[in-house]
A and B are shown apart, each in its own frame.
Chain A
């Protein structure tokens, strides 16, 4: 049987990976969305001036 004090550390490490990477991916989606929206707005402005 695994030592529970060691086993619990690996369980915490495992779920830490999940709660760090998944939100990080969500944030990356959000940042890319905002950046593209900004770029599209800039392009519309350039097109308007032309």
Chain B
């Protein structure tokens, strides 16, 4: 297995620096929101984690299509890497949302369209990882995952649009939301700048992690193939 490329090393260092810079911006650059004050600062990482989650699920869908067309296992590796990373980030987004909701909505969880669809997305992709483990043949496993991911990806735009299409209490920060939303706030320029910086930072982190995770997946395949050869 090749050692890390210089580009990956640079990307890893850049990700760490950007992450620290994002924390500094959140805590020292953005003003306190008038009504929610401190807990509103959870918003920057909540939205960034959700973005990376959705981005990864869409990358997985594209990789699934690429696998079905080419039958090249590298696409299956990319798909699995993207799903695993997205599951972690999306879970963090859900947890941050829940922590924000407790003081603002006075509840940890409510079966609101956005929260419900987000939970469904998380469970759909978690099930994909679990079900895949039950298939021994690598080609069948990859084909199953590609089709599953492709169908599962329909849940991602539904989740994204749920706060714009349905009656919901989840705030819409960009664009017009439901009249029932609770916890909305007007974004000032420093808030917007920080949000965009966090989105950029998490996108870079996603690419870096994806690269590392694909390397791990390739190593897994190599070990699996070697085992088959020996046995």
Contacts and interface: CB of A to CB of B under 8 A. Distances in A.
Interface of A: 1-2, 4, 6-8, 10-11, 13-15, 17-18, 21-22, 25, 29, 32-33, 36-37, 39-40, 43-44, 46-47, 50
Given A7-B37, A36-B216, A36-B223, A14 B42 contact: yes
Interface of B: 1, 23, 34-39, 41-42, 45-46, 49, 88, 91-92, 95-96, 99-100, 102-104, 209, 212-213, 215-216, 219-220, 222-223, 226-227, 229-230
B96 A14 contact: yes
- The main secondary structure of chain B at its interface with chain A is helix
Contact of A14 (B23, B45, B230): B45
A29 B84 CA distance: 11
Contacts of B35: 1-2
Given A29-B212, A50-B230, A17 B95 contact: yes
- The main secondary structure of chain A at its interface with chain B is helix
A10 B219 contact: no
A32 B99 contact: no
A18 B36 contact: no
Nearest to A46: B230
A47 to B, nearest CB: 6
Contact of B230 (A2, A33, A47): A47
A32 to B, nearest CB: 6
| A11, A44, A47 — most chain B CB neighbours (10 Å) | A11
Given A7-B36, A7-B103, A10-B38, A18 B45 contact: yes
